[in-house]
Structure 1
Amino acid sequence: MTAPDPTVQAMIEGRRADTGRRRRRVLTALTQAAKDGSDISVAAIARRAGVDRTFLYRHRDLLGQIHARAAEPPTTPGGRGPAVSRASLQADLLAADARTARLAAQVRRLEARLSEALGE
């Protein structure tokens, strides 16, 4: 096996160093966004870190960290505990939708009974 060309080796090392710098910028942007309550999404973090979104999609570990941090409930100002999270709002919406369906079915049953009682 022959030794790699020094020019090629220098380009490989330069690429690795650039990737490392970009990864650090993404992690810093993610930490800062969580700290100041900014939007945490792939586009927002990529924009804040100065990288392309495809960089994040090529680095699945970073993408996973962004998704995990986005799923965490944000803290309220003053550190009084977690605020409402997207998951809790979705759960509330599903519960409200189920209750609406039950109430609509009950209204239909009551309307049918009323119609029978009135002889219609």
Structure 2
Amino acid sequence: MSPLPAHLQQATRARTEKADKRARAALTQLAKAAEPVSFTAVARKAAVSTAFLYKHPELRTLIERHRTKSGPVPDVRSPEVGTSSTSAAVRALSARLAQEQRAHHQEVTQLRKALEVAQGENLTLRRRLARYEAE
């Protein structure tokens, strides 16, 4: 695969630099406001992904340093968070997964029963064959 053209490399670098600046500004704002510092909080405030923060060692170190200064991050689960589209998607996927698990369990049960029947028939046929060969 060929490398990206120079103009695309430059655009990527510029986008990354802007995201880096937003993340640093968000971290500073959270620290000055004495709000809990976490990867999620910085990502939300800077409009970047948590993966972006984790992948950049310098940002990661800064966030971890601020996080230890501010103490443990409180549990932020609330009714509003439970009704977000992300939570709804997780619930929908969980329900679908549970349904598929039930279907697979039923299929495995049916296949085991069929296997038991086939093994019984096989045993019966072997016994008949043994009687005919003995004669």
Per the shorter chain, which TM-score range?
Answer: 0.5 to 0.7
Structure 1 position 17 matched with structure 2 position 21: no
RMSD after superposition: 2.0
Shift of 1:61: 1.0
SS of the equivalent of 2:5 reads helix
Q: Is residue 70 of structure 1 aligned with residue 67 of structure 2? A: yes
Higher helix share: 2
* Partner-residue secondary structure (3-state), 1:40: coil
Q: Select 1:36's aligned residue among 33, 51, 55.
A: 33
Aligned length: 71
Aligned-partner Cα distance in 2 for 1:26–1:32: 10
Counterpart residue number, 2:94: none
**SS across alignment from 1:72:** helix
Moved over 6 A (4+): none
For 1:47 and 1:60, the matched residues in 2 are separated by 19
Amino acid aligned to 2:51: T
| Offset of residue 71 of structure 1 | 1.2
Rounded to whole Å, the distance in 2 between the matches of 1:46 and 1:60 is 15
1:8 to 1, 5, 9: 5
Partner of 1:48: 45
- Determine the C-alpha separation between the residues in 2 that align with 1:67 and 1:57: 10
Q: Which runs of 5+ in 1 are unaligned?
A: 74-84, 87-120
1:37, 1:51 → 2: CA distance? 21
Specify the structure having the higher radius of gyration (Cα).
Answer: 2
**Once the two structures are superposed, what CA deviation does each residue of 1:59-111 show, in whole Å capped at 9, x if it has no partner?**
011011000011125xxxxxxxxxxx55xxxxxxxxxxxxxxxxxxxxxxxxx
Whole-angstrom CA distance in 2 between matches of 1:70 and 1:52:
18
Which residue number in structure 2 is paired with residue 27 of structure 1? 24
| TM-score normalised per structure 2 | 0.49
Cα deviation for residue 39 of structure 1 reads 1.7
2:35 is paired with a residue whose SS is: coil
Amino acid at match of 1:68: R
- Alpha-carbon distance in structure 1 between the residues aligned to 2:19 and 2:12: 11
